[in-house]
A and B are shown apart, each in its own frame.
Chain A
Amino acid sequence: MLSRHAQGVLLGLAGVACALVAWTLLSRWLAIGGGAINRLPPPWRVGAEILAYARGELLVDLLHSLRVFALGWLVGAVCATMLGLLLGRVKALGQVFIPVIEAIRPVSSIAWVPLSVVWFGFGLTSKVFLVGLAVFLVVIVYAVDGARRIPPELDRTATMLGMRGAQRFFQVVLPGTLTEVLIGSRVSLMAGWGTVIVAELVAADSGLGAHLIAVQQSYNVPAVMATMAYFGVTGFAMNALFSVAERRLTPWVPRGEDTR
């Protein structure tokens, strides 16, 4: 009798194997006469490309993309935190400007790509702007929420302890806001990473996205799929790293299942 865990692993492997077999059969079948999709390489050719890319330019491209991502993410999160504190704590400002931000939010950062290229050209600045905007638009909601909703019992305790002014801000309001900002930052990870991809595809001068466009233009389907795999792996790794960091930084927040 297998344990439940072993059973899960075996079934998972079976599922992956089934998917690979289906992919191989599909690539065979499409090679004969697949119509539109006549270029589906079998899995091992994609695997060979994944290894070849890792030995080649991968590190350079990946570092370019990650630099854009990290800079944009930092800029977006810091701006959102400061503005969120201001709009969340100063009621009049909040009432005036939060609706304006709410009106801008439906225009996703992706829709800003052409304008950003007009403003900043094809270089680093325009990509950092776009990623920063993507992160900002997500995190601002959490920051305003965190700054506004200080739990009433904490508020009363602070009053009882005689906290006021700066002390109250640094001991009660700021930690409360930052906890929410951290959640928002994790939610915005994928939005930011997706924006890096689109920005690099459009303004293809460096990074994984530029590599993707380059191999696409030489009709190298296995290399295209290998690059996509690296995008997925990087996104997954960032998500996993951040979840661990979040648990370390805010151990007091109750976490059931993954909330995303």
Chain B
Amino acid sequence: MTNPRLRAVLLPLVGAALVVAIWQATVVLYQLPMVVLPTPWSVVKTLVALPGTAMFWRDVGVSVFEFGAGYALGMILGIAVGTLMGEWRLFRMAATPVIESLRFIVPFAWIPLTILWFGTSYVGKIALVTYAVFFVMVVSTARAVLHVDPLLSRVGRVMGMGAWQLAWSVHLRAAAPTIASAARAAAAVGWIAVVAAEYIGASAGLGLMITNAASSLATPAVIAGMIVIGLIGAGVSAVVGWITRTHLDY
């Protein structure tokens, strides 16, 4: 146990094993029924069986599609409007009160309204994710563009760049690291917004899958679904992180 790298791998495993052991012991000691708390083993079995069903892939596909479409839209709109706010003082002053007051209406509060407007279709979820991602991106893009080192702008102007060129090839580039970390935060918010929207009104998706499992008291399926939601969330964040890292290697 002297090798620090070995310790770094082993100790978390010990921790995970302890947690699973406590979980198992709780179920056995208190003789909890499956509905309240299933054994770790039954959750693993359900989790392994999930990819074999067509329903599961449909739910994953719907949720990921709703997220992906909304995320792309929200990123494009958010970065565009945010850049405009950072670059153009008049627009920033006019838009700030509107953006700031809407920003505090969290995406979840929009769920009932999107259901009234779009029903349980995926359009409503895409709109919701777009909204959630848009506000994260607008605020951080505007701030990042505004706080670019003024020296860089002066260099650009000396080189004869116009306002558009300056915004595109100097300001956005200098602001890119901040925008990249906001992109990861936005991915987490957007993914959870999809799941929450599917709780309340949806015809397919992971959120619907686990609420259905909960109302039919299939608790192992609920926990397995939560693990899948967590894994996809972590996966999305890793993919966004990887894309930003490989494309922003300066």
- Taking beta carbons and an 8 Å cutoff, which residues of A are in contact with B? 7-8, 11-16, 18-19, 36-37, 39, 92, 95-100, 103-104, 106-108, 110-115, 117-119, 190, 193-194, 197-198, 201-202, 212-213, 216, 219, 221, 224-225, 227-229, 231-233, 235-236, 239
A sample of 15 inter-chain contacts (CB < 8 A) reads: A11-B94, A12-B93, A19-B98, A99-B12, A107-B229, A112-B226, A115-B219, A201-B196, A201-B199, A201-B200, A212-B112, A213-B112, A228-B113, A236-B104, A239-B104
Q: Contact residues of B with A, CB < 8 Å?
A: 7-8, 11-12, 14-16, 18-19, 35-36, 90, 93-98, 101-102, 104-113, 115-118, 123, 188, 192, 195-196, 199-200, 210-211, 213-214, 217, 219, 222-223, 225-227, 229-231, 233-234, 237
Q: Which of A15, A114, A231 contacts B96, CB < 8 Å?
A: A15
* Complexed CA–CA distance, A12 and B229 (Å): 41
- Flag if A198 contacts B108 (CB, 8 Å): yes
Which listed residue, A39, A117, A229, A231, touches B106 by the CB 8 Å rule?
A231
Give the interface SS of chain B, mostly helix, strand, loop or mixed. Answer: helix
Known: A36-B118, A96-B11, A114-B210. A201 touches B195 (CB 8 A): no
Choose from B108, B222, B229, B237 the contact partner of A201 (Cβ within 8 Å).
B108
Residues of chain B with a CB closer than 8 A to A16's CB: 97-98
| C-alpha spacing A175/B219, complex, angstroms | 42
- Please name all residues of chain B whose beta carbon is closer than 8 Å to the beta carbon of A111 when the two chains form the complex: 192, 195, 210, 225-226, 229-230
Residues of A within 8 Å of B192, CB to CB, are: 108, 110-111
Give the nearest-CB partner of B90 in chain A. A11
